[in-house]
Every structure is written in C-alpha cells, then in structure tokens.
Amino acid sequence: MLESVVAQVGKGQINIETGKIAKQADGSVIVRLGDTIILAAAVASTKAKAGQEFFPLTVDYREKAAAAGKFPGGYFKREGRPTEKEILTSRMIDRPIRPLFPSHWFNEVQVQSLVLSADGENDPDILSIIGASAALSISDIPWAGPLAAVRVGRVKGQFIANPTHTEMVESDLDLVYVGTATQVMMFEGSAKEITEADYVAAMNFAQESCQPVIAALKELTQRAGKPKRQITTADVPAEVLQEAKAITADRLLPAVTIPGKLAREQACSELVAELTKKLKEKFGEEKVTDFLVKDAFYTLQKEAVRCLILNDGKRVDGRGFDEVRPLSSEVAILPRAHGSSLFTRGETQALALATLGTTEDSQEFDAYTGGASEKQFILHYNFPNFSVGETGRIGAPGRREIGHGALAERSLEPMLPLKDFPYAVRVTCEIMESNGSSSMASVCSGTLALMDAGVPMIRPVAGISIGLCTEYDAENQLKRHQLLTDIIGWEDGLCDMDCKIAGTERGITGFQLDLKLPGIPHSLIADALEKARVARMKILDSMTQTLATPRAELSKYAPRIFTVKINPEKIGALIGPGGKNIKRIVDESGCEINIEDDGTVRIYAISEECLMKARREIEGMVAEIEVGKVYRGKVVTIKEFGCFVEVFPGKDGLVHISELANFRVKQAEDIVKIGDEIWVKCIGVDDKGRIRLSRKAAMADRDRAMNEKPAGGNEKPGAA
C-alpha cells in the first residue's frame, strides 16, 4: 500500500514515500526535495554465511547522469566505477547507521541509494541518509532507528537548513549533521574558522531541524513498518568467556599497558595464542574456533582498557587524559618536491609533498547533482601496509583512504587563497607510521608542505582527535565518561568516539565525528571541542617553530607565472588557425600557456629564459606599435630608400634612408645589414596603417637617457 509523509525543514519540504517502487526489498522509500529525488532500498540476508566473523554491511550511493538529463562522459557513455563524491556519500550514510545494528549479528545487509532526479540545487546526499534511515525503519531488519540528517549553512551570520548550492556559495559553514530524536550521531564538514561557541550553536540548530524528519519517519514506520525479524547473535558463550577471563586474569592488564604499540600488540598476540590452546583443550575445537577466541579476548581487552580509564584514571600508554603525544616536524626534506614536510605525533607520522601546477591541472569531474565541477586544490592520502607493520593487498586507494584525504582536504582549503593564487595545488600525504588519527597528522604535514612550497596560506591549520570512554547504567542512561585527547589506535577501537577537529588559531576549518554509540549529548561535544582547541594551539605552536609563515619565494622547480592582459578580440589571432600559433610558442619556449575569455594570458615556465621567450612572442603577436615609443627590432629587408625593421613578430616598419643616421647616408648598407638588431622610434603611422620608424630619433632619445642614468644591459627585440 502506498504511504507517504511530509517533513518541513527550513524553507524546503521533504516528501518520503513507500509502497510504490522496489517492493521486493525489505524496505524501500522515495525521498524528494524540490526536483531532487532518490530511491533508498535495504535488504538483509535471512542467515549469516558459514564462518562469517564480522558484520557485512555494504552501503552504496550512485548518481545517474540521466537524473540530470545528461550523457555520462567517457567512451562507453555509461556510469563506471564510483566517483569520489559517490564514495564519500556512501561513507556518510554508513557511519551513522552502522552503530544501530545489533552487536554480534553477522547477516549481510545492503543499503543502496540511487539518484533518480537531480535539480542541480538540492544535494541528494542528505536525502540519501534520510532514505537509508526510512528504508531500515520500515523494514523487518533489526535496527534501532530512526535518525535524521540535515545540512546546515551560514550566510551573513544566519543558519540555513538544507541550503541550495547557490546559497552555499555565500556560506562560511558546511555542516552535515545526523541525529536521533535527542542526540548527535555523526557530523562532518568544513567551515571558515568558525568558533567553538558558534559551532555548538550550529549543532543545536541542526538537532532542532532534524525533529520534523524524525517525527515523519516515526509516523511512516507506524503506518507502513514491518514487524522486526527474530535474530540470532553470535555471542561468546558465557562459560568460554569466564574461562578466558580466568586464564588471562593476572597478565592482561600488564600486557595492555606495555609501552609502545608493537610491544603491546606482541604481548597480546602471545596471550591469544596461549588462550587458544587452553580453551580448545578444555572445550574442544568444534566449540572453540579461532574467531571465538579472538572475540573473547577482544571483549576482555576492551573491558580492561575501559576499566583502566574509568576506574584507575589511566591510559594504556601512560599519558594524562589531556596530554598530546610528543611532536616533531621537518620541512624541505625532499630536494625536488616543490614543498615537503615530515610531521610526527607519537607513533603517527605523515610525509607530505606539495606540487604546484597550472590551472589546466585542476581536477575536472561530472557534477550531475550540482555544485562545483572543478577542484583547484587536491589532497590525496595514502595508507601503505607497512605503516602499521603489516602485509596486505596493494592496490588502488580504498574508501577509507579517500575519506581521510577528503577530510584533510576540506580542513586545509578554507585557508588557501585560491582565487588570488593562479596555480593548481596538489598535496600527497603518505602515512609512514600510524597509531591514531593519521588524517589529522595529514592536516599538519599538509600545512607545512604547502608553506614550504611558498603557497600563501592565510593561517596554518592543525588537527587533533578527541576520544570518549563511557559507562551506562541499567536504564541506558550515561553514568560516567572520560574524554581522551589525541587518541591512539586502541582507544579508537576499544572506546566509543573518534571526533576529529581541525582549525587555526582563530577557529575550526574541518570536522568529523564517528561514534560506536547510539548517540551522545551535545554537552560532550562542546567539551570535546574545547579540548581540541587547547590541543590544537599546542600543535600549532610546535609547527610554527619549524616554519612560521609561507616561504617568500616558490621552489626553483615550481613553474613561474607571468600574466599578460590582451584585447579579447585578439585571442583568435594569438591562438591561430587550429591552434597553430599558440602550439608553436609552447613548443619553442617550453612553457605552458593558458588563455581565458577575458584576455588574461598566463605563462607558466620553469626558467626565466623560457618565460621571456614566450612573453616576447605573445606580446609581439598582439601588441600594436605606438607612435613615440622606442623599440629594438631586427632588420629584415633592405631597399634603395631604406630598410624594413621587424619590431614584433610579423610586424615591421620602414626606416627611410634619411632616418638611419643624423648625417647624410648614401646607401642603407653603409649603416645596417640584414639580421642586425637596431633601436628605432616610431615616428608615425599613415592612413593605410604603414609604420614609419627612425633610427636617428631613437639614437637621440637614448643619448639623452644615457646622460641621465647609467646604461642598462642588452635587450632583445621588443618594446623598450
């Protein structure tokens, strides 16, 4: 049966409908805002695969060119591998819904979202999160929703719920917020140095904006929802867990508090090996699998670490709760990179390389759903296996790497004056070691590499991650908690939160929240933001001791740029038929040349010699010889009545024999020969556009100039 509900969020009306399309899915909905429409469908397998040892949740978001009335790019004219936008949106849907599935339930679940219509103004990512929540809520899949999502912008100090792409151009905030009826589940986005107080206000606004959607989803579930299916979870048997606890009782805590990540992991691996042997001896190999032992040990390890934090007031590596690990950084460590840096925070280390290119190197992509279709700044993050001392598949970047790179990229971009910096900029962050929050280390190393390259950053950016360890009572009320500054890998995996905050000394530029809990109060986030601010100031202070401001000059290996402004009507002449002229200049000078519609011509060159050669060619092709100006040109033809001198490529004028010298000249060959370079002055242009030049007048002008100041160096043909 067709059912639909409506939620008014800000100025927009969100329609959610079920019962018409994709009825064989466990749950499916159509969500619409404006003329942007998405389909979200959820399906769960009826039983877990044999030997399944993890929760196989797959979230897939796809944009279709047809939704925007376009053809896909490429030879096959068909959508292919997911784009970066599709991957990031898939992650954005996945992260808030994942904690609401039952623990130790291993049935495969797939949540898919398809963009069916795109109006170019309303982004479908928010609708896809709402759609996933709706599809899971009305399905028989066990899931503890609903949740709602909203994008918050801020224009002229006023918060806007679900702003359009046009409104976002003027916004200094891009906050994607996901919440339950009372608490925050996830957020991510960027801002232009928003203060912590304003960020909390934005979250409060977002939480309030989510309420109409939450109410609509509850109504839809009541009207169209299926009874939740009965499930079986793969919990560790109580007697096995009890025996494991007895075996590891005296040695678990010493093992998890050994200094150094690798030493701790080695000690725990030895405990797991011993535990496996003894549990199998007691209960038999049929009952006790290797996975069951690891699961039991993980449970005990998690309990030990959390008790250490909440009961003993200690962390596994011995730090205080607000203490940042030791910091160090270096710059200019790679001779050929335009900018480079190595940033180390404890056992997390990021190597960053900055590369400058022409604006032609900017990344272009299809933007079916609206927004920007080109990126002038790109940050790529790579996480090799050796960074954690492991082996594994080596291939293209995975979703995690793409997500971490996007977070670092949007954290840095607000501090790059890209409109006034005519270069494409790429940063590659290679993680050399990892033990917690390598994405925030990438922000720090990326900042230093950019400044080392001479990119005029407005202010340095640093990032830090804040963790959380909680305890709830029997009524599921928060009993006690502890925030953890600069979490390590174990604190991320065994505790409850990874809240990444990046920014400058003035405010926040990038943020991302991941939870393992079904939501937390805003008050905890407010405390986490303050702890992140204090830690950020310490990190920025350490970074500025290495490099306080961007270098005054670019690397000698970076392309130099010279801008020439020409009459837009002469662009065609500069380019030439079939690009003949501009190709010749590029080939002969070795420069890259970009021409814009307004007549701005940018020349990119590695050497000054190449730059000047291209500049002379361009100016010569578009410049006009002006009366009264002195030029240095080449003699190209000699006649009885004088000689012709080429001042600019393809543009010459006549020097009459009477204008060759300040005395009587019998024949032109007495003064000049073909190929000579001489100074000439334009003394007139007749009504047919013929140029009259004078060597005699130019010599007189230069003699006067020589008497006024020292002579300069030799000049090539062109304007004086």
pLDDT per residue as tens digits for the range 375-415: 999 999 999 999 999 999 898 899 999 999 999 999 999 99
Which structure tokens are listed for 333? 């460590």
Q: How would you classify residue 370: left for phi > 0, otherwise alpha for psi between -120 and 50, otherwise beta?
A: left
Do 10 and 146 have their domain in common? yes
Which of 546, 574, 608 is the endpoint of a domain? 546
718 band by pLDDT with thresholds 50, 70 and 90? very low
Do 467 and 502 have their domain in common? yes
Q: Are 406 and 375 in contact (CB under 8 A)?
A: no
Q: Find the domain containing 691 and state its range.
A: 630-719
CATH code, 249: 1.10.10.400
Looking at the DSSP bridge assignments, the partners of residue 500 are 465, 512
pLDDT at 717 over 70: no
Residue 532 to residue 440: CA distance in whole angstroms = 11
Q: Which residues contact 165 (CB under 8 A, 6 or more apart)?
A: 120, 121, 122, 123, 370, 371
Burial of 307 (0-12, 13-18, 19+ CB in 10 A): middle
Do 207 and 245 have their domain in common? no
Which structure tokens are listed for 410? 């949007």
Residue 316 phi/psi, 5-degree rounding, is -65, -30
Q: Are 137 and 217 in contact (CB under 8 A)?
A: yes
pLDDT value at residue 448: 98
Residue 67 to residue 79: CA distance in whole angstroms = 12
* Residue type at position 698: A
- How do beta strands 478-485 and 508-515 pair? unpaired
For residue 532, give the H/E element and its range.
helix 522-546
Looking at the DSSP bridge assignments, the partners of residue 301 are none
Which structure tokens are listed for 484? 């953890």
90 band by pLDDT with thresholds 50, 70 and 90? very high
Residue 559 to residue 592: CA distance in whole angstroms = 9
Looking at the DSSP bridge assignments, the partners of residue 628 are none
pLDDT at 720 over 80: no
Residue 204 to residue 213: CA distance in whole angstroms = 15
For residue 702, give the H/E element and its range.
helix 695-708
Residue 499 to residue 507: CA distance in whole angstroms = 16
Question: What are the C-alpha distances in Å from 63 to residues 57, 70, 79, 402, 404?
Answer: 20, 11, 9, 18, 22
Which structure tokens are listed for 152? 């918050």
711 band by pLDDT with thresholds 50, 70 and 90? very low
Residue 148 phi/psi, 5-degree rounding, is -130, 160
Mean pLDDT, the chain, whole residue set: 92
Residue 139 to residue 373: CA distance in whole angstroms = 37
Which structure tokens are listed for 551? 């270098």
Give which of 169, 172, 209, 176 is closest to 194, Cα–Cα. Answer: 172
DSSP helix/strand/coil, 12? strand
Residue 514 to residue 534: CA distance in whole angstroms = 21
pLDDT value at residue 719: 44
Mean pLDDT value of segment 569-587: 87
What pTM was estimated for this model as a whole?
0.86
pLDDT value at residue 79: 87
pLDDT at 716 over 70: no
* pLDDT tens by residue, 1-46: 899 999 999 999 999 999 999 999 999 999 999 999 999 999 999 9
pLDDT at 708 over 80: no
Do 357 and 424 have their domain in common? yes
pLDDT at 418 over 50: yes
Q: Are 598 and 610 in contact (CB under 8 A)?
A: no
- How do beta strands 497-503 and 374-375 pair? unpaired
DSSP 170: T
605 band by pLDDT with thresholds 50, 70 and 90? confident
The span from the first CA to the last CA of the chain, in angstroms, equals: 83
Looking at the DSSP bridge assignments, the partners of residue 427 are 354, 379
Residue 371 to residue 365: CA distance in whole angstroms = 11
Do 104 and 214 have their domain in common? yes
- Percentage of the chain lying above the pLDDT 90 cut: 76
Is residue 316 assigned to a domain?
no
Place of tokens 């028989």: 140
Residue 671 phi/psi, 5-degree rounding, is -110, -45
Do 484 and 606 have their domain in common? no
For residue 375, give the H/E element and its range.
strand 374-375
Is residue 504 assigned to a domain?
yes
Is residue 267 assigned to a domain?
yes
Which structure tokens are listed for 661? 């010298």
- Percentage of the chain lying above the pLDDT 70 cut: 98
Residues written for the chain: 720
Give which of 149, 198, 194 is closest to 176, Cα–Cα. Answer: 149
pLDDT value at residue 656: 94
Which structure tokens are listed for 421? 């910096």
Q: Which residues contact 698 (CB under 8 A, 6 or more apart)?
A: 630, 631, 678, 679, 680, 681
Which structure tokens are listed for 534? 């204090």
Q: Of the spans 245-259, 332-346, 573-587, which averages the highest pLDDT?
A: 332-346
Mean pLDDT value of segment 131-140: 98
Is residue 520 assigned to a domain?
yes
Q: Are 149 and 216 in contact (CB under 8 A)?
A: no
- How do beta strands 691-694 and 651-656 pair? parallel
Mean pLDDT value of segment 645-664: 89
Mean pLDDT value of segment 449-467: 97
Concatenated DSSP letters of 386-413: GGGT------S--HHHHHHHHHHHHHHG
* Residue type at position 535: A
Do 267 and 373 have their domain in common? no
* Residue type at position 426: R
Give which of 504, 8, 465 is closest to 213, Cα–Cα. Answer: 8
Is residue 54 assigned to a domain?
yes
Do 641 and 698 have their domain in common? yes
Mean pLDDT value of segment 691-697: 94
Per the structure, the count of domains in the chain is 5
Which of 497, 519, 546 is the endpoint of a domain? 546
Is residue 86 assigned to a domain?
yes
Give which of 494, 501, 511, 488 is closest to 436, Cα–Cα. Answer: 488
Question: What are the C-alpha distances in Å from 528 to residues 100, 149, 199, 655?
Answer: 23, 22, 12, 79
CATH code, 684: 2.40.50.140
Long-range Cβ contact pairs of 292-296 (< 8 A, separation 24 or more): 292/236, 292/240, 293/244, 295/236, 296/236, 296/240, 296/241, 296/244
Is residue 704 assigned to a domain?
yes
CATH code, 541: 3.30.230.70
* Residue type at position 234: A
Which of 521, 546, 571 is the endpoint of a domain? 546
- b/e 446-470 (16+ beta carbons within 10 angstroms → b): bbbbbbbbbbebebbbbbbbbbbbb
Do 616 and 635 have their domain in common? no
Mean pLDDT value of segment 410-431: 95
pLDDT at 276 over 80: yes
Residue 206 to residue 185: CA distance in whole angstroms = 12
Burial of 655 (0-12, 13-18, 19+ CB in 10 A): buried
Residue 469 to residue 481: CA distance in whole angstroms = 5
Residue 622 to residue 574: CA distance in whole angstroms = 7
Do 145 and 204 have their domain in common? yes
Question: What are the C-alpha distances in Å from 391 to residues 268, 386, 387, 388, 430?
Answer: 19, 7, 10, 9, 17
Q: How many helices (H) and strands (E) does the chain have?
A: 16, 30
Do 497 and 349 have their domain in common? yes
Do 455 and 337 have their domain in common? yes
* Residue type at position 237: P
pLDDT at 710 over 80: no
Is residue 285 assigned to a domain?
yes
Asked, as a colleague might, if the bond just before 102 is cis with ω within 30 of 0, I would say no
